[in-house]
C-alpha cells in the first residue's frame, strides 16, 4: 500500500479443464505481468488451478496431487516477488475433499475452505466437496499493510456471508474466488450484490469468476473480473470480450478506515457478533507516501459533488430539489408561516434560493405573491445582475421590491467616521449588514421569514459577513456546494419557459461576485470572488476530502494533482490549498452561529450535526505538513 492506496487485480483467465500444468503456467504469467505493474494482491477464480468443471475428476488421486503440486509451483514463484496470489484448488483432507482458496505470499500459503456448498438447480457441488466445519472462522491476513479476507462464490450469496464476519474481524478488502454461470439477468444481480456487500462491510471487494475454457456441457461461464469499494463499482471487465480477462484498481484504504472509525455502529456490530478486530500489536505499518506514485488504476473525479454522467447529474439535481423543497415546506408549516423574504442579487445563490422557495409555495398551495423578493442595489451592483434579478422575479410572479442601500450606508459611514474612499472590510461589510437589516425588518413587517442564500462552499471558507449575509431565519442553501448550485440552476433552466431560461443561463455564466466594490470603468463586475479566495472547483474538492474522509492536506494535495492534471499548475493548487486550510480553521466562529438549514449530501457543516470544532482550533499542523512537501 502506497499513499493509502492498495493495488489489486482480478483475473478470469482461459483455463484448460483438468490440465493443472497449463493452468498454473497461465496464472504465473498473469502474476508476473501484474507484479511489474505494482499490483499487490491478485485473485483468480474458484478452483482456478484445476478448472471448476472437472466433475467426478475431483475425486481422482492424480488431479488432487497435481493440484497441490501446482500450488507449490505458485509458492516458489512468489518467493522473490512482491505480489500475492489468491488461487483456488481442491484439497483432500479429513477423509473428504474441500473446495479451497489459497493466499500465497513469499512462498507461504494460507488456505481456507468454502463455507457454503450449493446443491440446487445447476449446482451439485456436494457430490464432490464438503463444507467447512460450522465452528471454523476464516482468518484475517495482514499483507502489504492491509487486512484482507477470502470467501468463495456461494459464500457471497447466502443470508449472512462470511465476508460480514471477516469485516467485523478487521478485514478491509475481501477477495472472492467464484464460478458463477451466466443466466439472463444474473449479471446485473451479481453486480448489485457485490456493490451492496462492499457497502455493508465498508470494504473493498475483489471478485474473479470462472470463464472461457470451462465446460459448456450444461452451463456457460463468461469470466467476470470486478472490483467494488464501499458500494461503488470501481471497475468491471467486458465479460463477453475474450481478450478482456483482467482488471486492476487502486482501493482507497485510508477512506475505508476513516468511515469505519467515523461510523460508531461498525465496531458495535463487531462486538455484538463476537468477532474481535486485530489487536493493537497487529496495527499495520503506516502507508509510505510517495508524491510521484502513479495513481494509474483509479480516476479521481475533480468534481466530487457533481456527477459527470448527464443522467446521474439530472437525477441528483432533481433529488436536491425535492430535499430542499421538503425542508422548507416543513419549516413554513411548522411555524405557520405563509410569507418569505429573499434578497435577490442576480447571482447563483439567491437564484437557487428563489427557485426553491417558489417550488415550495407551489407545493403548499400558497400564493407566490407571498414571496417578497428584494433587490438592494449598492456601490458595486452592475446592470447585468440588477437586470437578471428583476427579470427572474417578474418571470416567477413574486412580489418585487427595490430598496437601494447607498444612501443608508453613506449615513452609516458618517456615523462611524469611515472614509467611503477606503474600500476595506468595513466598507464591504457595512453593505452586507445593511442588506441583512432590511431583510430582517421587512420580514417582521410582513410576518415572514428571511430565506438565507449562502451556500456550503462560502460557509466553509467563511466568505460571508458575520451578522450580515451569514445570518437568516432559514439557510436553504447551507448543504449545497457552489459547484453543484451551478448545475442545479442550469437544470432548472432546461425546464423553464424561454424568457426565464435565458435569464437563468445568464446567471450561470455571470462571474461570481459579492459586488461590494464599484464596477470597472465599463460597468462590468470588478470584484470577482474566485480571484480573491480561489477557484470554487478546487475549494469544493478540498472540502469534500477534508470533511468526508478526514484526509490530511498532503493526501488532498496528491489527489488534487491527479484530479486537476493539466488544469492547474501544482504551485497554484498548493497556494489555494493553503488558503483553504487557513480560512477553514479561522472562520469556524461563523459556522458556530449558523442558522438552521438542511443537509443535502454526504458532507455537511452544521455545528449541531456534522462538523463540531472549537472556533479557536489552529491550522498550524495542517499548514506545516504542506510546508514539508
pLDDT in tens, 442-480: 999 999 999 999 999 999 999 999 999 999 999 999 999
Residue 395 reports pLDDT greater than 80:
yes
Contact 194, 156 (CB under 8 A): yes
**Mean pLDDT value across residues 186-209:** 94
Residue 410 reports pLDDT greater than 90:
yes
Q: Which of 114, 202, 224, 482 is catalytic?
A: 114
- Percent of the chain topping pLDDT 90: 84
Cell of 230: 464501499
Q: Which of 256-270, 276-290, 483-497 has the lowest mean pLDDT?
A: 276-290
Cell of 518: 464599484
Contact 465, 355 (CB under 8 A): no
Residue with cell 470597472: 520
- β-pairing, 232-236 vs 108-113, is unpaired
Q: Which of 24-28, 184-188, 396-400 has the lowest mean pLDDT?
A: 184-188
Q: Which of 40, 46, 254, 537 is catalytic?
A: 46
- What size, in residues, is the chain? 629
pLDDT of residue 275: 65
Contact 474, 331 (CB under 8 A): yes
- Nearest CA among 397, 467, 458, 482 for reference residue 435: 467
- Alpha helix stretches (DSSP H) within 423-569: 425-446, 456-461, 482-495, 498-509, 529-532, 536-543, 549, 553-563
| Residue 46 among the catalytic residues | yes
- Nearest CA among 433, 439, 428, 432 for reference residue 353: 439
pLDDT of residue 515: 73
pLDDT of residue 529: 80
What pLDDT band is residue 280 in, cutting at 50, 70 and 90?
low
Question: How far is Cα 137 from Cα 272, in angstroms, rounded to an integer?
Answer: 16
Cell of 581: 486550510
Residue 279 reports pLDDT greater than 70:
no
Residue 276 reports pLDDT greater than 70:
no
Q: Which of 65-69, 182-186, 418-422, 616-620 has the lowest mean pLDDT?
A: 182-186
- Nearest CA among 235, 336, 229, 279 for reference residue 4: 229
Sheet containing 173-178: order of strands? 141-143, 146-152, 173-178, 204-209, 224-229, 232-236
- Nearest CA among 365, 567, 536 for reference residue 460: 536
Residue 319 φ/ψ region, left for φ over 0, alpha for ψ in the -120 to 50 degree band, beta for the rest: alpha
Residue with cell 433587490: 375
Residue 609 reports pLDDT greater than 90:
no
Exposure of 259 by Cβ count < 10 A (0-12 exposed, 13-18 middle, 19+ buried)?
middle
- 290-324 pLDDT tens trace: 999 989 999 999 999 999 999 999 999 999 999 99
CB count, 10 Å around CB of 189? 12
Residue 138 reports pLDDT greater than 70:
yes
Question: How far is Cα 157 from Cα 207, in angstroms, rounded to an integer?
Answer: 13
Residue 508 reports pLDDT greater than 90:
yes
**Mean pLDDT value across residues 560-588:** 97
pLDDT of residue 277: 64
**Mean pLDDT value across residues 66-77:** 97
- Nearest CA among 80, 99, 89, 96 for reference residue 31: 80
Dihedral over alpha carbons 560, 531, 483, 233 (to 10 degrees): -10
Question: How far is Cα 324 from Cα 361, in angstroms, rounded to an integer?
Answer: 12
Question: How far is Cα 173 from Cα 271, in angstroms, rounded to an integer?
Answer: 20
Sequence-separated (6 or more) residues with CB below 8 Å from residue 41? 6, 8, 9, 83, 84, 85, 86, 143, 144, 148, 173, 175, 206
Beta strand spans in 179-244 (E): 204-209, 224-229, 232-236
| Residue 114 among the catalytic residues | yes
**Mean pLDDT value across residues 367-385:** 95
> Which residues, in sequence order, are bridge partners of residue 86?
43, 103
Q: Which of 54, 153, 164, 201 is catalytic?
A: 153
Task: Indicate if the alpha-carbon torsion angle 300, 306, 312, 316 is positive or negative.
Answer: positive
Cell of 368: 407566490
Q: Please provide the average confidence, as pLDDT, over all residues in the chain.
A: 94
Residue 516 reports pLDDT greater than 80:
no
| Residue 153 among the catalytic residues | yes
- Nearest CA among 230, 32, 185 for reference residue 11: 32
Question: How far is Cα 289 from Cα 266, in angstroms, rounded to an integer?
Answer: 28
- 592-607 pLDDT tens trace: 999 999 999 999 999 9
- 80-133 pLDDT tens trace: 999 999 999 999 999 999 999 999 999 999 999 999 998 887 778 989 999 999
Question: How far is Cα 466 from Cα 210, in angstroms, rounded to an integer?
Answer: 62
Percent helix, strand and coil across the chain, each to the nearest 5: 45, 15, 40
Contact 584, 461 (CB under 8 A): yes
**Mean pLDDT value across residues 265-284:** 75
pLDDT of residue 586: 97
Is residue 103 classed as helix, strand or coil in its secondary structure? strand
pLDDT of residue 585: 97
Question: How far is Cα 327 from Cα 353, in angstroms, rounded to an integer?
Answer: 12
- Nearest CA among 355, 369, 437, 426 for reference residue 403: 437
Dihedral over alpha carbons 500, 501, 503, 506 (to 10 degrees): 170
Amino acid at each position: 500500500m502506497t499513499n493509502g492506496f492498495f493495488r489489486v487485480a482480478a483475473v478470469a483467465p482461459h483455463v484448460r479443464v483438468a490440465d493443472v500444468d497449463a493452468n498454473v503456467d497461465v496464472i504465473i504469467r498473469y502474476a508476473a505481468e501484474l507484479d511489474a505493474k505494482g499490483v499487490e494482491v491478485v485473485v483468480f477464480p474458484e478452483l482456478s488451478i484445476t478448472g471448476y468443471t472437472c466433475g467426478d475428476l475431483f475425486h481422482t488421486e492424480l488431479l488432487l496431487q497435481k493440484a497441490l503440486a501446482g500450488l507449490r509451483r505458485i509458492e516458489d514463484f512468489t518467493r522473490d516477488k512482491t505480489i500475492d496470489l489468491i488461487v483456488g484448488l481442491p484439497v483432500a483432507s479429513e477423509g473428504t475433499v474441500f473446495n479451497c482458496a489459497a493466499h500465497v505470499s513469499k512462498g507461504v500459503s494460507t488456505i481456507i475452505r468454502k463455507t457454503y456448498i450449493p446443491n440446487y438447480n445447476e449446482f451439485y457441488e456436494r457430490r464432490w466437496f464438503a463444507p467447512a466445519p460450522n465452528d471454523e472462522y476464516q482468518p484475517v491476513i495482514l499483507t502489504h499493510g492491509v487486512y484482507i479476507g477470502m470467501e468463495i462464490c456461494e459464500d457471497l450469496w447466502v443470508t449472512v456471508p462470511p465476508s460480514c464476519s471477516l469485516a467485523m474481524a478487521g478485514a478491509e478488502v475481501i477477495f472472492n474466488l467464484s464460478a458463477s454461470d451466466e443466466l439472463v439477468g444474473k449479471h446485473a444481480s451479481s453486480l448489485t450484490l457485490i456493490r451492496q456487500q462492499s457497502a455493508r462491510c465498508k470494504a473493498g471487494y475483489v471478485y474473479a469468476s470462472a470463464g472461457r475454457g470451462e465446460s459448456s456441457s450444461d452451463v456457460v461461464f463468461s469470466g467476470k473480473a470486478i472490483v467494488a469499494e464501499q458500494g461503488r463499482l470501481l471497475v468491471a471487465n467486458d465479460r463477453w470480450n475474450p481478450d478482456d480477462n483482467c482488471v486492476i484498481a487502486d482501493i482507497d484504504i485510508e477512506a475505508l478506515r476513516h468511515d469505519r472509525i467515523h461510523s460508531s455502529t461498525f465496531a458495535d456490530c463487531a462486538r455484538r457478533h463476537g468477532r474481535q478486530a486485530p489487536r493493537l500489536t497487529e496495527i499495520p505499518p503506516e502507508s509510505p507516501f510517495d508524491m510521484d506514485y502513479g495513481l494509474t488504476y483509479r480516476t479521481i473525479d475533480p468534481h466530487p459533488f457533481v456527477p459527470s454522467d448527464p443522467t446521474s447529474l439530472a437525477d441528483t439535481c432533481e433529488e436536491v430539489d425535492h430535499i430542499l423543497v421538503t425542508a422548507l415546506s416543513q419549516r413554513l408549516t411548522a411555524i405557520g408561516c405563509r410569507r418569505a423574504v429573499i434578497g435577490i442579487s442576480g447571482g447563483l445563490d439567491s437564484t437557487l434560493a428563489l427557485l426553491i422557495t417558489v417550488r415550495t409555495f407551489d407545493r403548499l398551495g400558497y400564493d407566490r405573491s407571498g414571496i417578497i423578493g428584494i433587490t438592494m442595489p449598492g456601490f458595486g451592483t452592475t446592470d447585468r445582475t440588477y437586470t437578471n434579478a428583476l427579470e427572474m422575479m417578474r418571470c416567477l410572479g413574486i412580489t418585487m421590491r427595490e430598496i437601494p442601500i447607498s444612501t443608508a450606508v453613506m449615513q452609516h459611514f458618517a456615523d462611524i467616521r469611515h472614509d467611503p474612499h477606503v474600500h476595506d472590510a468595513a466598507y464591504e461589510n457595512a453593505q452586507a449588514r445593511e442588506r441583512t437589516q432590511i431583510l430582517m425588518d421587512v420580514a417582521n413587517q410582513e410576518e415572514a421569514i428571511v430565506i438565507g442564500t449562502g451556500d456550503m462552499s462560502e460557509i466553509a471558507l467563511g466568505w460571508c459577513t458575520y451578522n450580515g449575509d451569514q445570518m437568516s431565519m432559514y439557510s436553504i442553501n447551507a448543504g449545497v456546494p457552489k459547484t453543484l448550485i451551478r448545475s442545479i440552476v442550469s437544470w432548472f433552466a432546461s425546464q423553464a419557459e424561454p424568457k426565464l431560461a435565458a435569464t437563468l443561463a445568464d446567471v450561470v455564466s455571470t462571474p461570481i461576485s459579492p459586488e461590494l466594490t464599484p464596477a470597472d470603468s465599463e460597468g462590468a463586475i470588478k470584484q470577482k470572488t474566485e480571484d480573491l479566495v480561489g477557484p470554487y472547483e478546487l475549494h469544493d474538492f478540498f472540502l469534500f476530502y477534508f470533511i468526508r474522509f478526514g484526509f490530511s492536506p498532503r493526501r488532498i494535495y496528491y489527489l488534487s494533482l491527479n484530479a486537476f492534471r493539466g488544469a492547474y499548475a501544482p504551485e497554484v493548487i498548493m497556494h489555494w490549498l493553503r488558503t483553504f486550510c487557513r480560512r477553514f480553521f479561522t472562520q469556524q466562529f461563523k459556522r458556530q452561529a449558523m442558522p438552521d438549514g438542511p443537509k443535502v449530501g454526504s458532507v455537511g457543516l452544521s455545528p449541531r450535526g456534522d462538523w463540531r470544532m472549537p472556533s479557536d482550533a489552529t491550522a498550524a499542523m495542517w499548514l506545516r505538513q504542506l510546508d514539508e512537501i
